Structure 1
Amino acid sequence: MERAVSESGQYAEDVEQRAAEWVARLDGSPLSDGEKGALRAWLGADPEHRAAFEEASATWRELGALRHDPGPLRTVLTPPRQASAARKAVRIGALVGLLVLAAGAARFQFGDPWLMLAADYRTAPGELRTISLPDGSTVELGPSSAIALAYGEDERRVRLLVGEAFFTVAPRAGDESRPFVAEAAGGTTTALGTKFVIEESGDAADVLAVEHQVEVASGAATRDGVVLSPGQEVRYRSDGRIGRIRTRDIATATAWRRGMLVFNGARLGHVVETLNRYRRGRIVILETELAQRRVSGVFPTSDLDDAIDTITTELGIGSRSIYPLITVLY
């Protein structure tokens, strides 16, 4: 009996998700003849299909204003008191995710097309990969990361296009006299030693020296760069600003190489950015103020659903999600 109930619940969830997917698809380019036929066949296969489709369509229309004003969602996502309300909230959360992700469905399935063209090496969400470079150096790519090589006669240059990377640089010795330069977010890191880490975050990058020294400069900076020794980290921005040098525990900062994520008073916004590299779909923070809340914890990368549960409990916040598209934190 329990199995029958479980299968029935799973079927209902599958129907609701499929209905949401059709509604999102209808909001895009016109359906092909084949897609029109598939939609008609799906709607006619079961009365529950049409009921779920009509409810999804109505909710989609109600949530159309969310692109410009997320305010209504705050009311919708008020913690429900009844089981039926809970199911509706989950369904609405799914539709919100589809609203946000409809335009990026191809990116979710196949990856960023620009990166596919520009990158020489890249990783999928949750994937770690070690790349051997032509000069004997290696790059350990974190999840959802990509690099492009630009080796020339005068320098060995690697561009970190997105994500995080641990560099182990072959020294300048013997016939190898070219400097090793890693580029990210409009700035450069020149190896004066052998090991360092760069984490790119759009218009900024964090550089941590692991072994020997590195010189960090922002491309738009009007002053000289800074030299980091092991355990020192600095953030620079693409507009030329370089932050203060700070000390960081190397083992903690590189725990991702061992399948662990360690946060010590990190902003929730940063934590979410990191978690998003390890899983398909997206975690979205509803309110700007919430992104500034601080989070601490140690999470295995093999069980990030538990990390989300722990974070929401620690901060006393709510979440709604539909696997594998989106999780909304509010």
Structure 2
Amino acid sequence: MRAAEWIVRLGGAPLGEDEKRALAAWLAEDPDHRAAFDEAGSTWRELGTLRHDPGLLREDHPTRRRPLSKRRAVQIGALIGLVVLTASLARYQLGDPWLLAAADYHTAPGELRTVTLEDGSSIELGPSSAIALAFDARERRVELLAGEAFFAAAPRGAQEHRPFVVAAAGGTTSAKGTQFVINQANDGANVLAIEHQVEVALQQNGQRSGVVLSPNQQVHYASATGMGPVRPQNVETATAWRRGMLVFDNAPLRDVVETLNRYRRGRILILDDALAKRRVSGVFATNDLHEAIETITSELGIDARSFYPFITVLY
């Protein structure tokens, strides 16, 4: 793949692991590749000017066909690139259309939103998050489609006999108490009990596994790996996002980037698997993530290259 093709590819869906390795290998193969990559990125950012000054593209077509000049070919190629850029920009601004269609409530990158349900329960959605509701006569069911949410479930009593259940990443969390947090991460979910107890269950290969969490306890589960061990967790640290802060304590860079991507419309991409496993600690304000990226790259001794507004590459 050439430099321009990589830039266009980066403007689309997130790269797969094989593509990340291919890009890293291509950049390391030849110093000229990195120079071409940087130049292509600069050209990509300037494509928007064609909308205001398309130049020769406004000329009438000649009556006799003639071979395209190099200048004309470049302009047509740039126009095609602009179409690709426009399509990517629509997804960048509006989000995943399938997710938005399935959600009853959702948030944009960097947005927090509190929803009050018909039973009196409240849900505080973190950034880039979405939920769907399925209340019926048997249960009060909420599906966390993406992101993170703080749940304050109205307790069962004489007026409300239905259990409050949240489905996420193939598992379910049933409120025995009132307050808990669920965060979708690493192809699974983290569940943290804050007030009273919650029961977490997972169906895997026809077998059901479950744990009951008490306050300040957390568990991670995933369909591929099953139910993890119960671990202690500091509630203030884990819910700092509700106060506009992000706290990372020896967290893998992969997890840090996954969190940061919920707060910005462009995506951060890690090219190297070994880099993704390096550990990060720090406290960052959610309204100044540029400083967060600068601090992380400085502390880890790595570089970052931005292709505004879509991609920031860490390498």
TM-score normalised by structure 2 residue count: 0.77
Residues in 2 aligned to 1:283 and 1:311: alpha-carbon distance in whole angstroms: 12
Pair 1:218–1:327, CA change in 2 (3 A): same
1:144 matches 2:88: no
Residues in 1 aligned to 2:41 and 2:30: alpha-carbon distance in whole angstroms: 9
What one-letter code is carried by the residue in structure 2 that aligns with 1:197?
A: V
1:244 matches 2:229: yes
Is the 8 Å Cα contact of residues 295 and 311 (structure 1) preserved in structure 2?
Answer: yes
Residues in 2 aligned to 1:285 and 1:223: alpha-carbon distance in whole angstroms: 35
Which structure has greater strand proportion?
2
Cα distance, 1:220 vs structure 2: 2.5
Q: 2:272 aligns with which of 260, 271, 287?
A: 287
- RMSD of aligned C-alpha atoms? 2.7
Residues in 2 aligned to 1:133 and 1:284: alpha-carbon distance in whole angstroms: 36
Cα distance, 1:105 vs structure 2: 3.9
What one-letter code is carried by the residue in structure 1 that aligns with 2:103?
A: A
Aligned to 1:167: 151
Pair 1:230–1:95, CA change in 2 (3 A): farther
Cα distance, 1:89 vs structure 2: 5.9
Aligned to 1:272: 257
Aligned to 2:100: 116
For residues 167-211 of structure 1, the C-alpha deviation after alignment (integer angstroms, 9 at most, x for no partner) is: 001000122000000000010000000000000126200000000
Aligned to 1:73: 27
Gaps of 5+ in 1: 1-57
Aligned to 2:91: 107
Is the 8 Å Cα contact of residues 203 and 209 (structure 2) preserved in structure 1?
Answer: no
Aligned to 1:32: none
What one-letter code is carried by the residue in structure 1 that aligns with 2:27?
A: L
Identity within the alignment, %:
59
Residues in 1 aligned to 2:43 and 2:204: alpha-carbon distance in whole angstroms: 42
Gaps of 5+ in 2: 48-80
What one-letter code is carried by the residue in structure 1 that aligns with 2:95?
A: G
Residues in 1 aligned to 2:250 and 2:172: alpha-carbon distance in whole angstroms: 28
Q: How does 1:125-274 map to 2 (within 5 A)?
A: 125-201=109-185, 203-220=187-204, 222-239=207-224, 241-274=226-259
Residues in 2 aligned to 1:289 and 1:268: alpha-carbon distance in whole angstroms: 10
1:60 matches 2:14: no
Cα distance, 1:219 vs structure 2: 2.9
What one-letter code is carried by the residue in structure 2 that aligns with 1:145?
A: S
Secondary structure in 2 aligned to 1:280? coil
For residues 224-271 of structure 1, the C-alpha deviation after alignment (integer angstroms, 9 at most, x for no partner) is: 310000000000112460000001100000000000000000000000
Q: 1:298 aligns with which of 278, 283, 304?
A: 283
For residues 130-164 of structure 1, the C-alpha deviation after alignment (integer angstroms, 9 at most, x for no partner) is: 00011000000000000000001000000000000
What one-letter code is carried by the residue in structure 2 that aligns with 1:325?
A: F
Residues in 2 aligned to 1:188 and 1:314: alpha-carbon distance in whole angstroms: 38
Residues in 2 aligned to 1:297 and 1:202: alpha-carbon distance in whole angstroms: 20
Secondary structure in 1 aligned to 2:263? coil
Residues in 2 aligned to 1:247 and 1:159: alpha-carbon distance in whole angstroms: 25
Which structure has greater helix proportion?
1
Aligned to 1:5: none
Task: Kindly tell me the number of residue pairs found equivalent between the two proteins.
Answer: 265
Secondary structure in 2 aligned to 1:74? helix
What one-letter code is carried by the residue in structure 2 that aligns with 1:308?
A: I
For residues 274-320 of structure 1, the C-alpha deviation after alignment (integer angstroms, 9 at most, x for no partner) is: 00000011000011111000000000001000000000000000110
Residues in 1 aligned to 2:8 and 2:98: alpha-carbon distance in whole angstroms: 28
TM-score normalised by structure 1 residue count: 0.74
